[in-house]
Each structure stands twice: as C-alpha cells, then as structure tokens.
Amino acid sequence: MRNSSLNAIEKSKTRSMYIDSLNEFVDIYRSSTEEELYFKELLKKFESEIENLPPKMREIFLKSRNEGLSYKKIAKELNITENTVKTVLHRAVLQLKKKLNTLITFLF
C-alpha cells in the first residue's frame, strides 16, 4: 500500500512537471500572433497524426498519455502483456516524433 501511494505521488509530480513544461512552452509561443498560428497548426497536425496511428497503437498511446494509465493497467484492460504495451507505445512515440520533426521543419 505504501509503495502504491508513493508511486501515485511520484506519477502525479511527473505529470505536473510535464504540464508545467508544456504550459511554459505554450506561453512562450503565445508571445506573437504569427507564432501562435504556427503553434495551433502544429498542434492540429500532431492531433491528426495521432488519429492516423493504427487503431490499437492509438488506443495504447491515448490510454498512456491522456488517461495516465500505467503499462500494467493498459495491459490488463486490453488483455495483452506489459511488454507489448511498452513496445507499441515506444513505436507510437517514435512514429509521432518523426512526423512532428517533419512538421516543425515544414512550418518553421
């Protein structure tokens, strides 16, 4: 129980730091209208790329990133192994990074 509580606290801190960093990033790019338009376009394209992921990969990615579920919980929900979750999530992140790098190069 204690480890579970500590893990939950650590996960919350990590998520909070991620959100704070993202908010800082957004604040920086809101400094000018043109940059804000670029950022909105980039975000729209990124969301589109998430939608273009294969269905199972998209589901695992969204459960991890949007719902904050652990590998273990995702594996249990989808009746797959934790290693499968890790592998699929890793591939999704690589695929999205590749697309995002292309988009950033194109937009900027």
Q: What is the pLDDT of residues 49-72, one digit of tens each?
A: 899 999 999 999 999 998 999 999
Same domain, 54 and 87: yes
CB-CB contact of 82 with 64 (8 Å): no
**21 assigned to some structural domain:** yes
**39 assigned to some structural domain:** no
Same domain, 24 and 56: no
pTM given for the model: 0.62
Q: 86 is in which domain, residue-wise?
A: 45-107
Same domain, 52 and 24: no
Closest by CA to 90, choosing from 68, 106, 71, 69, is 71
Interatomic CA distance for residues 59 and 70, integer angstroms: 13
Interatomic CA distance for residues 68 and 62, integer angstroms: 8
Instruction: Read off the DSSP letter of residue 30.
Output: T
- Between these two residues, 16 and 63, which has the higher pLDDT value? 63
Same domain, 21 and 50: no
CB-CB contact of 69 with 37 (8 Å): no
**52 assigned to some structural domain:** yes
Domain count, the chain: 2
